[in-house]
Amino acid sequence: MKIVIIGAGGRLGAALMREYQGEHDVAGFNHAQLDLSNLDKIREKLGETDFDLLINAAAFTNVDLCETQSDQAFRVNAEAPGVLAEICGEKNAKLIHFSTDYVFGLDQKRRSPYAEDDPPGPVNVYGTSKLAGEYLLRSCCSKQFVIRTCGLYGVGDRGGKGGNFVETMLRLAQAGRPLRVVADQVCTPTYTSDLANAVVELIATKHYGLYHLTNANACSWYEFARAIFELERVQADLTAITSAEYAAPARRPVYSVLSTGLYESLGLAPLRPWPEALAVYLHERQQKVARIT
């Protein structure tokens, strides 16, 4: 199978490259090679490329910056996926596209995991642009998987946000910086290697459609940070705060935990709980550091 992965230089794209290389003919495009804000370049580059499966692991993911650069957010997160879907339709190719838990959040009282058929309600430009991308993509391509996920982190992260949450917490703690982390936003941090492995299992079913896919269970960002420091045995000046105290430019969902029941209904095993995945990531991270030193 010939596979093209867009966003191959990011945290998820790198995990997908590792998952597929060796068994398939895989080509990866990083941001410099294929910028999703250039729609004409997308048509030109992919129009001349032969593939059976296109995986879009790229997006404009800076949630706060999306608020002031909404045109760019909608071009990358909405218009570009629509173009990718058109190209896949013309080539009769399969398409995998990743969306976000941030398509939810309008229901401030919600405290049960969201299923795929729950009505979305984003509270920021990022979530709105990603939801628009879902609609455009699903209307243009029949052989598609749209996968909503959450809080990605992974080995070899070269994402555009300057590192994942785990690395940011450890870097700031080791620098002796005080850490104020929100305790009133609940979600499910997801390890990219686990997600990439699950994606391979999902697409083999050929049950196309919209799926939620994350590690199991849920936590606040403060609980996630505390677990990082406990597992790494790092003493950190960590304080729990509210979203109002943090005062980010973009609103975030108070609760955006995703139900993976539809994925599991296909006979596929749920991803391991987030604390187990985090422990594995930190172990692999230590091994990587040891090899370098």
Catalytic machinery residues: 126
Tokens of 119: 């009505």
Half-sphere exposure of 226 (CA within 13 A, CB side): 11
- Measured CA to CA, the distance from residue 257 to residue 68 in angstroms comes to 26
Select from 49, 48, 46, 53 the least CA-distant residue to 1.
53
Q: What is the DSSP string of 143-202?
A: SEEEEEE-SEE-TT---TTSS-HHHHHHHHHHTT--EEEESS-EE--EEHHHHHHHHHHH
Q: Please tell me whether residue 215 adopts helix, strand or coil conformation.
A: coil
HSE-CB of 19 using CA atoms within 13 angstroms: 22
Q: Which residues are within 8 A (CB) of 33 and not within 5 positions of it... i.e. 6 or more apart? A: none
69 CB burial (10 A radius; 0-12, 13-18, 19+): middle
